[in-house]
Amino acid sequence: MDDQQRTTYVLVDGENIDATLGTSILGRRPRPEERPRWERLLQFASQRWEQPAVGLFFLAASNELPMSFVQALLALGYRPIPLSGGPGEKVVDIAIQRTLVELGRREADVLLVSNDGDFVEHVGDLLDGRRVGVVGFGEFRNSAFAELADRGLESFDLEYDVAAFNTQLPRVRIIPIDEFDPTQFL
């Protein structure tokens, strides 16, 4: 590797995280205060692996660019990647897969922010000695990611590890006894 500092690329599958949060966790559209604080994710990435983090936020934008959201992402230091395609085309998945392939050609580390199993093979291909992680909601993460842990894949929870939320989400999870606090249930 040359003198240039190594970078962590944070690839956010915004649709997947939003759908999991709204449909699976809250059962409704998230209110603004219930949405992730995306700046905390970049802070987590740069602190965790002690190197600069570049955030790429992929979103489907078929007919209209969500300018207020795009401007907010830019202000937080992300590179928004609005995509469009044909009917039924999973443009976000296609773009993330292509980006993972390209990152395999570079000396960089990767944090994928998604629970989606469509990326398992591509993530597995990156486990060649570089640092690779997946961030999402542990109980909704595709189980095939767990099979990559013995090859070096790190898994992080968006709420518990990254602390990306201002409010506690109504999640049911297995609690390690050392973390059990009965006051949370009384």
Higher pLDDT, 184 or 75: 75
Q: What is the mean pLDDT of the chain?
A: 93
Q: From the centroid of its chain, how far is CA 137?
A: 9
Mean pLDDT score, 111-122: 97
Task: Flag whether pLDDT at 62 surpasses 70.
Answer: yes
Q: Cα-flanking dihedrals φ and ψ of residue 125, to 5°?
A: -65, -25
Whole-number pLDDT of residue 2: 46
Sequence-distant (≥ 6) Cβ neighbours of residue 117 within 8 angstroms: 142, 144, 145
Task: Flag whether pLDDT at 186 surpasses 90.
Answer: no
Asked if 25 and 34 count as a contact pair (C-beta separation under 8 A), the reply is no
Q: What are 144-182's pLDDT values in tens digits? A: 999 999 999 999 999 999 999 998 888 877 778 988 888
Q: What are 20-42's pLDDT values in tens digits? A: 999 999 999 999 889 999 999 99
Domains (ranges, CATH) in the chain?
A: 8-184 (3.40.50.1010)
Tell me the whole-structure pTM to 2 decimals.
0.91
Q: From the centroid of its chain, how far is CA 51?
A: 18
